[in-house]
Structure 1
Amino acid sequence: MLRRLQRLIGSFQTQLLALIAATGLAFFVVLQIVDTSIEMQRLRSERLEDSRIVAAVAARALEQGFDQKDFAEMRKVLSAVRNQKHIFHASLVDRELTFMLDELTTTLAPLPLSLQSQVQMRALKSGQTEQAFAPQGIEIAEPLVREGQILGSVTVWTSYPGLLRTSLSVMLPNLLAVLPVMAVALLLSLLLGRRVSAPVKALRQAVQKFADGDFEQKLEIGGFLEFSQLGEALSQLATKLKDNINQIYELAYVDRITQLPNREFFKGEVIRAIKRAERQGSSGALLFVDLDGFKRVNDTMGHEVGDRLLKMFSERVVNVVRANDMVAFGASREYALRGASTDKQIFARLGGDEFTVLLEDIHEETDAASVARRIIAATSEAFVIDGAEVNLGASIGIATYPHDGSDYHSILKSADMAMYQAKEEGKNTYRFYSDELNKHAARRLEVESDLRRALAREELELYFQPIVDCNGGAPVAAEALVRWNHPVKGVLDPGEFIRIAEKSGLVLPLGLWVLKAACERMKELSEAGFDLSITINISRNQFEQHDFAQRVLETISGCGTSARRIELEISEEVLVANQRRTMEHFRRLKRSGIRIAVDDFGTGHSNLAQLGRLRPDVVKIDRSFVELLQDAADDQGRRTTRAILALAKSLEYSTCAVGVETGAQLKFLRDAGCDRVQGYLFGPAMPLGDFLQWLSSHGQDEDQLGDGPRKVAAG
C-alpha cells in the first residue's frame, strides 16, 4: 500500500497537478501580499489625513479661553478627541512648558524631558503642523495660535491599520478571482498529464527491454509529435547498441597498440582461473615477459617505431605458440559472456614492454618452460622495421598457482621476481620462482632500507683508482668509486647495492653524494700537492633528469672546486638514447670546462655519426677488449682493440683503457696509441689516505711507472 502511494505521489500526472496547485497558491499569496500592502498604505494615508483634521479642530477649540487655563474644559476637548476612531491618545502643552494636560492627568512645571515630545517641540517652534511615524503609531502636533502668537500645541496619536484585519478584508475578492482560474488550470493539467504519461510509460517499458538485452523491438509511440520522434530515435539507437557495446568492451579491455587483452582483462581472467583451479584441484602458470633492449630502441628510434615493434612481437608470439596455449584477443561482448567457461589461455600486454601469459591446467612445470623457450626463440630473431634490423631479447619469469601464489597480486609478484632474476642472470632467458628468490627480494628490501640510512648518516666512503699516462707512467687522474662498509654486514659488493639503488630510485641522492664528496676530496688532494682530475660515474637516472647539468654545476660551485678538473663518465648507451637531451647537457657542462668521457666504448649501439655530433672528450675502452690482449694467440682480439683505438684517434678523442692487469697489455696499448690506462697493474681502488700514500710513493720512485704524479708548489 505504501509503495503504491509512493508511486502515485511520484507519478508525472500527480507532480503536474501539484505543480499547478502550487503555482496557483503562490500566485494567490503574492496577490494577497500586494493587495494587503496597497490597502494598508491607503488606510494609513486616510488615518493620517483624518488625524490632521481632528488635531486642527481640537486646536481651534482649545485656543478659545486658553488664557483662563480651565483644565477641566480643556480635558473635555481632549476626551472628545480621544474618543475619535483610531485615536488612542491626545495631550496639550503650553508654550512655556508650564503644564501638560491629557484626557486623564495634569502635569505642572517643570515638565520632565521624558514627557517632552519632539514633534510638539517642533510645532511650538515652527508654528506649523508637525508629524512623525513611530513604532507605536502616527504622532501629529498642531500649534495653538492666536493673533500670530503661539500659545501651545495639541498632540494626537493615531494607530496604524492592523495587518490581519486588512489582509482579511482583501482575501475574499482575491479568492473569488483566483479559484476559478485554478480550477480550470487543474482540469487542463489533468488532461495533459494523461496525454503525456501514456507515451512515457510506453517509453519506459521499451527502455527496460533494452536493459534486458532486447534490441530487436520496434517502438511506435503515439501522443505528441515529440514523443513519436523520440520513439523513432530510440528504435534507431537500439539497432546500433549491440555493436557499440562490443566497441566499448574493446576499448575497456583491449590494448590499443597490440590488440591483445590489457591488464584489466588479464586480471579478471587470472582471478577466474585461480578460483577454477581451487575447485578442481588443478594448477596453472603465469609467465611474466619483459623485452630486453626495448627501451633503447624506443629512445633512439622513436615511440612510433617502438609501437610497431611491440605489435610485431605480439603477432610473432601468437603465431609461434600452438593455438591451444593462448588466444589472441578479438574483442566482443559474446567472448566476455562466455569467458567464465572458456579453457583457452590468455596472452596479454600489461603496459610498456611487459607482457603476461596465463597457462591453465598445466600438468608439469616443463609445459610452462616449453612455452617460455618458444617465446624466447621467436624474440631472438631480428625484427625488420623500414629495412633496418632490430634485435631484442625476452626475460621471462614463471610462477605456478596455487603453489607460488593464491591470488592475482601474489602470483604476479612471484612471476615478476622470477623475471628480474632472469635479467640479473644475463637476460634473454627464463627462470622459475623459488623461495630463494623471495629471500633475495627480502634482502634487496633490507639493503635498500639500510642504504637510505647510510646516505642519511654518511656511512658511505669514496675510493680512488689511479689513472696513469700510458707513455710516461705519471698519475694524471683518478676514478672516484663509492664503497659501503656496512656496520653489521661489513663491506658490501658495490655492484649489488648500486643495482638496488638504481631500481629503487636511491641512485639520484647517491649520485649527488658521490659528486659532492669527489669535489671535497679533490680539494684535499690539491692541499696535499697533487693536481689530479677526478672521474665520476654518472648513472642513466641522473643523466635523464632535465636539470642534470644545473645540479652538477651548482654542486661544483658550492664546493668551490675547479670544473676543469672534473670528468663525468657516462655510458655510450645512455648518451645516444636521447641526443637532444644529451646535446643540451653537453653544451652547459663543456662550456663550464667539465670534460665528458664515454664509458664502455665499443660495446654499445651508437654509430659514428651520433658520436661525431656529441663530441665527447674521452672514450674509455671497455675491459672486455683489454682482456682479449691477454691471449697472445688471439690476433683477432688485438686487431679489434687496435681498430677501436684507431677509430677514437681519427675522431680526435682522448682514450683510456680500463682493466689493465699485465705489462704485456700495457705495452700493446702504448704501442697502439692509447693515451691513458687504469687497472690493477697500477693499483686497486683505495681510500683517500692510501691513495695519497700511493701518489707519494710513486712520485719518489719514478722508474716504477714513469714520471710520477704532478706536484703543485706548496704554499
Structure 2
Amino acid sequence: MKHVLPTARLTTLGDRLQRVNRITLGFALLIVALLIIASSFSISLFSLVDASRVKASVLAENASASLMFQDARSAQELLQSLQQSPDVHAAALYDKNRQQFASFVVPEHSVPASIGSLQENMAYGWEYLNFTQPVMLDGELIGGLYLNVDLAMLYMQMAWQATITLGAAFLAMLVANTLLRRLNRSVLQPINGLSALMEQVSDQNDYSARAGPSDITELNALAEGFNDMLEQIQQRDIARKEAENKTLRLAYFDSLTGLPNRQSFLERLGREVRIAEREKTRLAILFMDLDGFKGINDSMGHNTGDLILQWAADRLQQGIRPYDMVVRAPIDESEVELARLGGDEFTALIPRIAKPEDALLVAHRIRELMRRPFVLEGREVVLTASIGIAVYPDDGEDASSLLKHADTAMYHAKDEGRDNCQFYSASLTERVQHRLNLESNLRHALARNEFSLVYQPQFDLIRGSIQSVEALIRWNHPEQGVIPPLDFIPLAEENGLIVPIGEWVLRTACADAARWRHEGHALRVAVNLSPMQFKDPELVKMVLGILGQTGLPPELLELEITEGAVMEDSGATLATLEALSLQRVQIALDDFGTGYSSMSYLKRMPLNNLKVDQSFVKGLPHDRDNRAIVRAILSMARNLGFSVTAEGVETLEQADALKKMACDTLQGYYFSRPVPAADIPALLSRQWLADGPSTCFIDPASAAASDQGA
C-alpha cells in the first residue's frame, strides 16, 4: 500500500513553518525508514524460509537412497554438507518408525531421538524455524528430515540494516532542516520515490531495482543506504539460487564426468518416449559397458580409473555428436543425450531415428573411437566397449523396459566376445537371466563346497612315465550338474571371485600333491593363475603360505601363467616371477604361441616350462606349418633352457611326431582324461613302454566331448 503524507501550504511565521516542516519531514522519514526495515525484514525472513524449505526438500530427496539401503554413512555425509550453512544449527534423518537415523548438530544444540510426525510442517519461534520434510521413494513414505534454522544471524543483519537506514534518515533530517523553507517540495519528491521503490521491491521481489541519485547530499546518502541494503539482499538471493542450482546439479549430474546421471537420463528418456508416442517416431538407447575396466581399475588404482572414465566420457561424446551422424538430418546437439549410469556403464539416447540400423552406425562409431589407446604415464591402455541397443517401440514402450532391454543386449554383446554391439531380442531375456542366476550361484559355490579338482597327467618322454599333473577345476552344480570352466571362469573373472576361487584351487592342489608324496608318488602339480590373481601384490606371500601349510616342497608346484599376464605389466610381472623362482617354485608359460610374447621378455623371465597350445598340436604330423612352428618353439626353448610340454595330444601319430621332435612332456586325452585325485595312483601303476605310451587308455572322441575348454 502506498502511503502519501499530506502537506500543508504554510503562510505563518518562519519559525512555525520550519517547525511544521521539520515535524513533517521527520515523520515522513521515520515512516519510510520503518517501512524499509519492515519490508527488508519480511523479505529476508521469507527468503530464509524459502531457502530452508528448498534445502530441506532437496536433502530429503537425496536422502531417500540412504534410508532405502540403510546407508548411515552416506546419510551422515549428506547432513555434514550443512556445515556450509551457518544458519542451520541442527538436522536429522528419521526412519519410517520416526527414530533418528543420522544427525548433524552444532555445539550446544541437540535434535530429538524420535519425531512425532513425518509429514511436512514448519514451526517457528522468536529464535528459530523448524522444518519437517517427508522422505519419499516411489510414492512411499520411508522417513523424514528435521531441520532447525537459527534466526540470530537474521536479527543481526536486520539490526545492522536498521541502524544504517535510521542513521541515514536522521542525518538527512538534520541537514535538510536548514533548507526546508526552499527545498520542501524537492525533499518530498525523492522520499516518495524511495517509498515507491520500496513497494516495487516488496511487490515484485525485484532486488535489482535501485534508487536514483538526488541533488541533495543527505537524500542521496539515504538512497545509497537503501541501495546497499538492496545489494545485500540481491547477493543473498543470488547465493540462494546458486546453492539451489548446485544442489540440483548434484541431484542430476555425475560429479566425475559432468554427464547427466541415471535420474536425469530416466526423466529425459520418459519425456522422449512420450514425444515419440505422440509423433509416431522411433528412438534408440545405446547401453555401453567398458570391457576390461575393472581389471585396470584394480591394478592401476581408483585415481587412474577415474581419469580413464573421464577420457572415455569424452570419447563417447565425440561418438554421438549429431554432425557425425550421417544417418540423420541435422538436429540440435542437445537432443542427443549421453549419461553415466554408474561405474563404467554409460547410455546414449538418440531420438527420432529413421530405422534401427541408424543406431548401429552410431554404435560402430563409438567402438572405433574407444579402440584408440589411452596414453597414461608413457603406457598405452586399450579399452573396448560392449554395446546393447534397444529401440522404441519395438523393444519396449516405457523408459524402464527400454533401459532394461538395452542392458540385456549389452550382456549378450559381452557373451559374444566383447567389443561388439547387439540388438535386443526377446530370447535374450532368458539367456541373461540364466547368466545372472549362474553368477548368483557362483557367489555361494565356494562356501557350499561345490567345486572339485580333477587332474590330467603329463607324460615325461625322457623318463617314460608320468611325472606331473595339471589341476583343473569343475563346478558340481546341485541342479545343473557339472558346469565346464568355460561357462563360469569368465564370470568369476568379471566379478572378482576368481581370486578366492584361485586360492582354493591352489590350496587343494597342493594338499593333494602333498598326500601323493606321502604315499610315495612325488608328482609335480601344475596350477593355472588368472591375470587378476597375478596382479595381487600378496600373491607370493599367499603361495608360500599354502606351501608351508600343506608341506609340499616348492619344486613340486608349477604355476601356469598366460602370455597376456606376462606382457600386461612386465616390471611387476618380472618381480613376482623372480620372487617365486627364488623359492624354487616352477613357472610355466601356458598356451604359448597364441599371444604376443616378446622374445626379449622371455629371455629375462625366470621360466621353467613352455606349454605349446593344442591348436599347433592338432594338425600334427601332417600340417607342415604346425610342424614348423612346433620345431621353432622347441629349438628356442632348448636355447633358453626351458622344457616344453605339448597340450592336446589325442593320437598315437601326434605323440610319435612330438617324440621325434624331442619334446619333453606330452599331455592330452591319448594318455588320460582329467581324473579325480583318488584315481591318480592307479594311473601311475600302469605299464608304459620305454619309448612312449603302450596304448590309448580311453577313447579320445568321447573324452573330448566332456572336457573341452578345461
Instruction: Using structure 1 for the length normalisation, give the TM-score.
Output: 0.58
Residue 448 (structure 1) aligned with residue 439 (structure 2): yes
Matched, 1:617 2:620: no
Residues 513 and 196 of structure 1: CA distance in aligned 2, closer, same or farther (over 3 Å): farther
Counterparts of residues 518-667 of structure 1 (less than 5 Å): 518-627=509-618, 629-630=619-620, 632=622, 634-667=623-656
1:177-196 to 2 correspondences below 5 Å: 194-195=166-167
1:191 deviates by: 6.3
CA displacement at 1:705 relative to structure 2: 2.7
**Cα gap change, 1:412 to 1:626, in 2 (>3 Å):** farther
Residue 693 (structure 2) pairs with residue 705 (structure 1): yes
Whether contact under 8 Å (1:260, 1:328) holds in the other structure is: no
Does structure 2 conserve the Cα–Cα contact (< 8 Å) formed by 1:654 and 1:675? yes
Give the whole-Å Cα distance in 2 for the aligned partners of 1:566 and 1:418.
42
Instruction: Work out the CA distance in 2 between the residues paired with 1:547 and 1:273.
Output: 50
- Asked whether 1:11 is paired with 2:2, we answer no
More displaced 10-residue stretch of structure 1: 314-323 or 300-309: 300-309
Aligned residue pairs, count: 516
Q: Secondary structure at the match of 1:590?
A: helix
After TM superposition, give the deviation of residue 557 of structure 1 in Å.
1.8
Matched AA of 1:11 = F
- After superposition, the C-alpha distances for 1:228-284 in whole angstroms (9 at most, x for unaligned) are 778779999999999999999999988899887666654443233234345556542
Question: 1 CA distance for matches of 2:524 and 2:201?
Answer: 83
Match of 2:318 in 1: 315
Matched to 1:269, the amino acid is R
**Helix, strand or coil: the match of 1:681?**
coil
Deviation at 1:623, TM superposition (A): 2.3
Rounded Cα–Cα distance in structure 2 between residues aligned with 1:227 and 1:686:
93
Q: Which amino acid aligns with 2:166?
A: R
List per-residue Cα deviations over 1:467-489 (Å, max 9, x = no partner): 12244442221111111333332
Specify the alignment match of 1:686 in structure 2: 675
Q: In the aligned structure 1, how far is the partner of 2:351 from the partner of 2:243?
A: 31
- Structure 1 residues 12 and 409: CA distance shift in structure 2, 3 A: closer
Secondary structure of 2:685 counterpart: helix
Give the whole-Å Cα distance in 1 for the aligned partners of 2:421 and 2:367.
8
* Deviations 1:688-715, CA, capped at 9 Å, x for gaps: 233322221145x55543899xxxxxxx
Q: Is the 8 A contact 2:315 2:366 kept in 1?
A: no
| Structure 2 CA distance for partners of 1:225 and 1:669, relative to 1, 3 Å | farther
Query: What is the one-letter code of the residue matched to 1:685?
Result: P
Alpha-carbon shift at residue 225 of structure 1 (Å): 8.2
Q: For 1:457-536, what aligned pairs fall within 5 Å after superposition?
A: 457-536=448-527
Give me the CA root mean square deviation. Answer: 5.4
> 1:207 Cα shift?
12
Task: Report the Cα distance in structure 1 between the residues aligned to 2:616 and 2:572, rounded to whole angstroms.
Answer: 29
Contact 2:315 2:370 in 1 (8 A): no
Q: 1:425 to 1:201 in 2, by over 3 A?
A: farther
The verdict on how the C-alpha distance between 1:540 and 1:219 changes in structure 2, with shifts beyond 3 A counting, is farther
- 1:353-432 to 2 correspondences below 5 Å: 354-362=345-353, 364-376=355-367, 393-401=384-392, 404-405=395-396, 408=399, 410-432=401-423
Alignment CA distance shift 1:592-1:363 (3 Å): same
Give the secondary-structure state (helix, strand or coil) at the position aligned to 2:359.
Answer: helix
Change (3 A) 1:248 1:492: closer
2:287 counterpart letter in structure 1: F
Aligned equivalents of 2:492, 2:255: Cα separation in 1: 33
- Contact 2:309–2:344 (CA under 8 A) maintained in structure 1: no
Alpha-carbon deviation of 1:610?
4.0
Instruction: Give, in whole Å, the separation in 1 of the partners of 2:344 and 2:329.
Output: 21
CA distance in 1, matches of 2:473, 2:429: 28
- The percent identity for this pair of structures is 35
Aligned mates of 1:508, 1:203 — CA distance in 2: 72
Bigger drift between 396-405 and 520-529 goes to 396-405
- Matched AA of 2:693: L
Taking the aligned partners of 2:567 and 2:195, their CA distance within structure 1 comes to 67
Q: Would you say the 8 A contact 2:282–2:351 is kept in 1?
A: yes
Deviation at 1:509, TM superposition (A): 2.7
Q: Cα–Cα, structure 1 residues 365 and 688, in superposed 2: closer, same or farther, change >3 Å?
A: same
Q: What are structure 1's unaligned runs of at least 5 residues?
A: 16-186, 330-338, 709-715
Alpha-carbon distance, 1:565 to partner: 1.0
Provide closer, same or farther for how the CA distance between residues 236 and 525 of structure 1 changes in structure 2, counting only shifts above 3 A: same
Equivalents in 1 of 2:456, 2:195: separation in Å? 87
CA distance in 2, matches of 1:218, 1:649: 96
Contact kept in structure 2, 1:466 and 1:685, CA below 8 Å:
yes
Q: CA-to-partner distance for each residue in 1:198-239, whole Å, 9 max, x for gaps?
A: 999989988999x98x98989989559898778779999999
Q: Give the equivalent residue in structure 2 for 1:175.
A: none
Q: Is the 8 A contact 2:168 2:225 kept in 1?
A: no
Deviations 1:589-626 (A, max 9, x none): 33332222222333334434444444333332222333
What is the CA deviation profile of residues 364-406 of structure 1, one whole-angstrom value per residue up to 9, with x for unaligned ones?
4334334434545666789999999987654321123455456
Q: Please identify the structure whose Cα radius of gyration is greater.
A: 1
Alpha-carbon spacing, 1:242–1:428, altered in 2? closer, same or farther (3 Å): same
